[in-house]
Structure 1
């Protein structure tokens, strides 16, 4: 059965460099069959939001505090993986810098998805994944697409999840890092389709409080570290809770 075509969901070109999104570490990954070392399980991070407002002169501004509770065993294990990446793959690798770049890429890619600008994803997202995303986007109503779009200041909490090291039959080496993001959105989405999401009322100025939802997204970044291959990161997995699963 043919999928319906969504009006306004079209492809456009882009000259934006992936390098700029990853703090001068923009990459392109060649995907292939591979053998994966056992990855550590995802960290038990629980974000808690406490919205309140205060400002001199009675003016109200949004302020959000987020707390994360990591699993100590997982925290240590992921640090071992970071050490292995620095020792055997990239001595300049720092998870703090990678996280900052991943947030920028997440925000940029999510906004392209919301606008259905699929050609602009080339070089940022794996080619086979773009096709799958196109099929899902064609089925999404406009309010759900709006919920995909994330500005940097709307990202409330970010944490690395699964970290993996891969080798294929030809001896090529790969590293993958799954990043988890929690973000606020004001998109109007039916409550019955977003079970498990948290809803907050945020005061902005002197008007009525604005209702925002806390949503989650998972983006996986992969890079090939084979000798002689240009260093490159690309996104090989995209999931937005209840939107693009």
Structure 2
């Protein structure tokens, strides 16, 4: 079994490497991420009471994030131009694979959620939406505009990121911004459906993003187990491997909003000394 899952992981990352400098970040399936780095102080997500009828099938709609009236995080008229413009990325090679057993567990859980709630978290649309959410949230953090995250992220998360960003220098805060082309790979680390005492249900999924970054300090030790970045051209800043972990939450209630809310934010650069 370990050999089979490792082969599946190699095939997924092998296709990723085939994209050379324009490494593909949007793929279906693939191995799951390495164990979560300690988040230390991440605000807990609040449980919200709601109810749902067993066996109900949710209608499929675009990936929508709470508090965004313009549907920033969904495809409009077939367009695929998210925030964060494109730029040339250095060559990236695949040097390892994440934990295949975590990948299998998450894939099974996501398949069951899709079967019972018609909620496809393995689709290209969902992956595109969460990438756009990362780009948007990181941009607001880098500019210190935390109040603009209200509605998109939980109040606890907004308070937490503001506290974390306040301890950074202006240069370190600006380096938090992630462009779409900075995202190398995205995989789930935890998927769950929670039932509260009132019979309510909600879904949460923890996603790890592998990124290239110009952050100060060393490469993320978790990231360099999987990817290696070629040296930058002379005169340009050296790109490094970093990771970010975001959790997304959505209600599964009949008639409830199908918006996703960001309930956890963690960036590797927060662990570096200021």
Q: Same fold (TM over 0.5)?
A: yes
The answer to whether residue 214 in structure 2 is matched with residue 170 in structure 1 is: no
The answer to whether residue 115 in structure 2 is matched with residue 87 in structure 1 is: yes
Comparing 81-90 with 229-238, which one deviates more in the overlay? 81-90
Matches within 5 A, 1:155-234: 155-187=183-215, 189-191=216-218, 196=221, 200=229, 202-204=231-233, 207-208=234-235, 210-234=237-261
1:20 corresponds in structure 2 to 72
Structure 2 residues not aligned, in runs of 5+: 1-66, 77-87
Distance 1:119 1:215 in 2: 26
**1:134-155 C-alpha deviation (Å, 9 max, x unpaired):** 2222221112212211101011
Higher strand share: 1
Cα gap change, 1:203 to 1:19, in 2 (>3 Å): same
Distance 1:167 1:22 in 2: 28
- Cα deviation for residue 115 of structure 1 reads 0.5
Matches within 5 A, 1:38-117: 62-66=90-94, 69-91=97-119, 93-117=121-145
Question: Retained in 2: the 8 A contact 1:136–1:244?
Answer: no
Secondary structure of 1:62's aligned partner: coil
The answer to whether residue 136 in structure 2 is matched with residue 136 in structure 1 is: no
Distance 1:108 1:88 in 2: 31
Secondary structure of 2:139's aligned partner: helix
TM-score by length of 1: 0.68
Secondary structure of 1:108's aligned partner: helix
Distance 2:68 2:210 in 1: 25
Distance 1:61 1:85 in 2: 35
Q: Report the aligned-residue RMSD.
A: 2.8
**1:137-176 C-alpha deviation (Å, 9 max, x unpaired):** 2221112212211101011221111111101111111111
Question: Retained in 1: the 8 A contact 2:175–2:213?
Answer: yes
Distance 1:137 1:208 in 2: 28
1:38 corresponds in structure 2 to none
Question: Retained in 1: the 8 A contact 2:89–2:182?
Answer: no
Higher radius of gyration, 1 or 2: 1
Question: Retained in 1: the 8 A contact 2:220–2:243?
Answer: no
Cα gap change, 1:98 to 1:195, in 2 (>3 Å): closer
Distance 2:144 2:89 in 1: 32
Distance 1:242 1:86 in 2: 34
Question: Retained in 2: the 8 A contact 1:222–1:236?
Answer: yes
Q: Aligned residues, how many?
A: 191
Question: Retained in 2: the 8 A contact 1:107–1:150?
Answer: yes
